Amino acid sequence: MIIQILWLLLYCLACLSMGSVVIKAAGWKRNTSLASTTILLATSFLLGCAIFANVWMLLAIAGLFNQWVIIAVCVASLVAGEKSVVSLLPGVKRQIQSILSDFSTETGIWKVVIVLTIAIVLLPGSSAILENRLEGDSNAFYLVIAKTTAAAEKIQPLPGYDAYSNITMQGELHYAALMSLGAPDMAAQFVYPISICLAIFLLALARRSGMGRRGQWVALAMLFTSTAFTFLIGDGKVDLFGASPGVAAFFWALNTHEKNQQSRGALFITGILIGFSIMAKLSYLPILLPPIFLLIVWRQWINGERSSFFQFIKRNLPGWVLLGGVIALIFIPNMIKNQVFYQEPLAPIISQGNGGWLEQNWYTEPIKQRLLLTYPLALVFGNYFAQYGLLTPLSLAFAPFVFWLKPRRRILESTLFQVTVSALIGVLLWISLRPTTFAPRYFLTPLLILFLFSAAGAEFISLHINKPIGFDWIIPLSIIFILILSYNLFSNLYPRMDSYVSGGINREQYFGSDYQAFKYLNQHAAPGDRIFTFTYYTYWLRADLIECMDHNYERTDKIQSATEKWDYLFRRGFRYIYDYSPSNFGELIKLNIPDGVPNYLEVTPVYSIGAHHIFEIQSKDPSRHPDIVCKQNGSKLYQLLPFHD
């Protein structure tokens, strides 16, 4: 496990070094008041992630995604960027000293808030010493495609998710790289540094919006008491790969006006971050592009020389073209992937038949109406299907404080106002475009940025208005209360982890019943055996078995009789049937075991625990054989090939 943690750290350092090279290339050579050293480090890390993910994608398409190539790229990045990373470290030290100095001047109760907040920030990171905590989709797709890509050294549409594999990908390739390097159990933990970058940029936005240290602590406490954010750390999902650069892009968009001499560099960085965000999570396309472009134009208009509208456009158009060009550039590897596998480079946005999953409608009209009527309450208290996490109640509780804030003479010049309005537009765009796709992770970036006005209000009130109500006590006490509740949420997860680490429960008990069932298959199935699955969740299967699993076009639901179904399954080379009862939608019953099984086949139940059942299919007639087999053909990739004796 220690070796895996070291691989993870090394990989993070390589990302950081690669990003620092990109920042240099963007012409941003020094830390200024616009971007502190911590910001430059966080930006370097995110840019490095973006570059790496795209390099991995190209290598994976070409079938060159092997351990030695990945190590070579990482080492080259470390060598190239080491000096610039090291040169930033004294600045980080100074910032930490400044934070400690501010801490000593805080009142007692705020010191408690700060200590508890730091502890809750470290809490998800401490899970890095443990293994992957898999949840839903990651167990079904994100970590599974990473596993097959790492094993096959080549990316392929995932069996069972043939159409969905046209999705834009970033996080999955980092997982794959870490698995290739020998850190499969640490792969999902790569999200933790990504989440820390998000926190750094949220605080940077708070600072640029005029908040002091106290407001930043409030914003940080809000972030880490939002389960919509914390649930996504280390569970194998990839949403934070989109949300984190999204928040960073909002920050860098503030630097793109012409009073800043390095505005072109800032535009370049903003473009990469937007592109990275959209590539990681396609839902960020409508909610990031319009708000950030608005923010850029707004800043340029306010801070630029007063001139006519056409002169303004003429002056700034090259910068906007640069921004658009950089964003488009990030899409190229994914376009190549979709051209190779689907002959549709613009899929899933423009697709003949593989973009259907973009049109999602989760609820009926009455529920949709109730949902829309209860914004923002539903985001904080809702309990909807697939919502997966809530926003912090602190954002709602402190929201009325915004009315006490004293704006500048011209509110349009207020950074807080600009950022809040842009984020609000992002949220409204999502609500109007996908009203029933109600899950904060789909539009997390603008939602998190909306915390800022509540945090600013809370800071102002706690510093300036103590009478007649002691808000200087009420506010920190509220934060402490919610922090303690959040610890309790984590504790649902951690006792199980504690007992796993201390040996109270074994690996099977820790990872659940599907792990046990797949362990049976991993031990008994030969390389390349085909398994027909009635489940979405296959991460724990051996990589070759996943590669050989049933494809969407092999489902048997259109075949009428049970005998024909069995005959078809045998001819397609399936050796096992794995059934997870809640996922089979009645299909297993239609197979009618044993009466529907043809005479020449023998179907034996070989595993049955709880909802998990495994059947083995064997031919009694030696003259009969399947039409296809799954095997390696000159590479590590398992492919379906015609049967030859």
The residue ranges that bind another protein (CB under 8 A) are 367, 370, 374, 377-378, 380-384, 390, 393, 396-398, 400-401, 403-404, 407, 411-412, 465, 468-469, 471, 474, 478, 481-482, 485, 488-489, 491
Report the C-alpha gap between 554 and 453 in whole angstroms: 52
Cβ-based nearer residue to another protein, 384 or 510: 384
Letter string b/e over residues 159-196, b meaning 16 or more CB atoms within 10 A of that residue's CB: bbbbbbbbbbbbbbbbbbbbbbbebbbbbbbbbbbbbb
CB of 484 to another protein, least distance (A): 8
CB of 497 to another protein, least distance (A): 16
CB of 252 to another protein, least distance (A): 27
With both helix axes pointing from N to C terminus, report the angle between 471-491 and 213-224 in degrees, rounded to the nearest 10.
30
Contact assessment for residue 476 and residue 113, using Cβ atoms and an 8 Å cutoff: yes
Cβ-based nearer residue to another protein, 468 or 634: 468
Quick one: which H or E segment has residue 234?
Answer: none
Token readout for 563 is 């005998």
Phi, psi for 63 (deg, rounded to 5):
80, 25
CB of 409 to another protein, least distance (A): 10
Report the C-alpha gap between 220 and 122 in whole angstroms: 12
Contact assessment for residue 362 and residue 437, using Cβ atoms and an 8 Å cutoff: yes
CB of 401 to another protein, least distance (A): 7
Q: What is the largest CA-CA distance in the chain?
A: 92
Cβ-based nearer residue to another protein, 357 or 481: 481
Cβ-based nearer residue to another protein, 322 or 396: 396
Cβ-based nearer residue to another protein, 306 or 410: 410
CB of 372 to another protein, least distance (A): 12
The angle formed by the CA atoms of residues 518, 521 and 525, to the nearest 5 degrees, is 150
275 closest CA partner among 333, 349, 347, 336: 333
Distances (CA, A) of 63 to 48, 152, 160, 637: 22, 8, 21, 9
Cβ-based nearer residue to another protein, 401 or 515: 401
Cβ-based nearer residue to another protein, 236 or 476: 476
Report the C-alpha gap between 215 and 198 in whole angstroms: 16
CB of 493 to another protein, least distance (A): 13
CB of 545 to another protein, least distance (A): 39
Cβ-based nearer residue to another protein, 61 or 419: 419
- Residue 526, helix vs strand vs coil: coil
